Amino acid sequence: MMHLPILPILLPLLAGILLLLLRPLGLQVQRMVGFAVTFALLMLAVWLFDGALVGQRQVYALGHWPAPFGITLVFDQLAALMLLLTAILAVGALWYAIVTEIDAQGSHFHVLFQMQLFGLNGAFLTGDAFNLFVFFEVLLLASYSLLLHGGGKERTVAGLHYVVVNLVGSTVFLFALGALYGALGTLNIADMAAKVAELPAEREGLVMAAGLLLLLVFGLKAAMFPLYLWLPAAYANTSAPVAALFAIMTKVGVYAIIRVHGTVFGEDAGSLAYFYAPWLLGLGLITLVLAALGVLAAFRLRIQVAYLVLASVAMLLIAVGLHSETGLAAALYYLVHSTLLAGGLFLLADVIVRGRGAYADRFDPGMRLPHHALLGGLFMFAAVAALGLPPLSGFFGKLWILQAALEHPWRWAVLATVLISSAILLIALARSGSVLFYKVKDRPDAADPVLPAQISAFAPSLMAVLWLLAAVPLLVLLAQPVAEIMQQIAAQTLDTAGYRAAVFDPAVGGK
C-alpha cells in the first residue's frame, strides 16, 4: 500500500516500454495491450481517488531520501482528481483512435500515448518544481509526436509552431527555477513555501520576479493571454483522439498554478501572499473575451472547438484568480465539466466531419448528414453545456464561479465579462448549428460533392463520444455530492500548513 502513489507513473511508463517491444507482433496486439493498460489505469485512479477522499495526504520519497533533499511525490485529493480525470479522458480518446483506425496512420501511436500519460501523471504527483519541469518535458516530447501523427501540411505547420513556443517556455521555466533556487536554496514546493514565509525583505523582489516568470510559463501551458495563439491551430489540425487527450494539457498549466503558486505564495507568504492573483484574474478576463471572439470568427468546426477550450481555460483562470476557497471549489467543478466536454466535442466534431465528406469541417451549407437528427441533437446538447445554459453542468459551474466573484473587488468586471462572452458564444454556436444541421439540402446540386452513405465505425465512435459527454448529466444529477467533494478538495489544497507538515513528516500526513 505504501507504494500506491507511484503506480500511476510506473504503469504507463512500463506499458510504453512493453508496447515498444511488442511492435513486431503487429498493431492489434499493441491495441489490446494499450487499451487494457489504460483501462487498468482508470480502475487504479478510481481506487486512489476513493482512498484520497477518506484518508490523509500520502508522501512517497524515492530512494527513501527525505524532503527536501530527495525526489518527493505528494498524493492528495487534488492530485487524485487530476489522475482520475486524465484516465477517463484517455480511455475515451484511445477507444476512438482504435475503432476509427487513426492509430494506424503513423508509427508508435500507442507508445507515445502511454508516454503522454506518464508525463501527465508525473506532473500531477510531483512535489518538486524541478521534477515538474522534467515531467513537463516528458509530456511535451510525447505531445510533439502525437500532434504530428498522420502527417499533413497544416498539421506540420501547427506542430512546428507548437514545438517552438513550448521550447521557449521550457527555457524560461529553467530561468525561473534558477532564480528561485538562488534566492531560496531549494526547489521542493513545501520547502519553498516554508522559506518564503520567512523571506528577508531584500529578497522579496527577486522571488516575486521568479514567481511571475513561473506564472508566465504556466500561463503558456494553459494558453493564457497573450500566449494562447499556438492553441487553436495545434488543436484544430491534429487528429481527433489526440485533440481530445490534449483537452487535459491546458489544465496542467492551471493545475501548476494552483499547486506551485497556491502553495508557495499562499496565505502564509507574508507580503507575497497571493501577489499573482490580480495578474491571473486580469489576464483570465482578457483571455475569455478573445476566446469568445475566436469562437465567433471561426470558419471551421474544429477551430471553433479549440477556441471553446480556450474559453474554458479562461473561466478557470478567473476562478483561481479569485483566491478563495469557494472560487477554487467552483474552478474544480468547472474543470471536470469543461475537460470531458471538450474531449467529447473534439470526437463529435470528427464524426460530423467524416459524415460531411469533402465539406469537411468548413461552415458551408451542405447535404444532409447520415444520422442527421442524432448528430444534431448531440451537437445541440454539447453546445448548451459549453455555453453554460441551464439545466446542464456548465450552468452550475459558471453560476458557482460568479457567486464566488460577488465577494471580490473585481466582481462587476467578472460578471460583465462572463455574461457578455456567453452571449457571444451563444450567437456563434447557434450560427454553427444552423449551418451544419438546418441549412442543408435534401437533393445535391451538380457541383456538390458526394457524401458518404454511412459514417465508418459510427456506433463504436459514438460510444467514445457518449463516454465523455456522459459527465455533463452526471454532474447535474450528482451536483450536491460532487460540490461537497470539490469543497473538500479545495479546503485541503489551500491548507498549505498541512501540505508542509505532510512532506516533512510523512507520518503526520496532514489533513
Tens-place pLDDT, residues 369-397 = 788 888 889 999 999 999 988 899 999 99
DSSP state of 152: -
Give residues with Cβ within 8 angstroms of 426, minimum separation 6. Answer: 387, 389
Q: What is the DSSP string of 215-277?
A: HHHHHHHHT-TTS-THHHHHHHHS-HHHHHHGGGHHHHHHHHIIIIIHHHTSTTSGGGTTTTH
Contact between 126 and 132 under an 8 Å Cβ cutoff? The reply is yes
> Band of the pLDDT at 366, cuts 50, 70, 90?
confident
Q: What is the DSSP string of 15-72?
A: HHHHHHHHGGG-HHHHHHHHHHHHHHHHHHHHHHHHHHHHS--EEEEGGGPPTTTS-E
Alpha carbon distance 203, 176 (integer Å): 14
Contact between 69 and 128 under an 8 Å Cβ cutoff? The reply is no
> Band of the pLDDT at 441, cuts 50, 70, 90?
low
pLDDT of 197 above 90: no
Alpha carbon distance 309, 510 (integer Å): 34
C-alpha cell at 9: 507513473
Alpha carbon distance 419, 422 (integer Å): 5
C-alpha cell at 500: 508542509
Residue type, 266: G
- How far apart, in Å, are the Cα atoms of 137 and each of 12, 104, 143, 196, 395? 16, 26, 10, 27, 35
Output the average pLDDT for the chain.
89
C-alpha cell at 106: 503513423
pLDDT tens for each residue of 37-93: 999 999 999 999 998 998 788 888 887 887 788 888 999 999 999 999 999 999 999
pTM surpassing 0.85? yes
pLDDT of residue 154: 82
- Residue 75, helix vs strand vs coil: strand
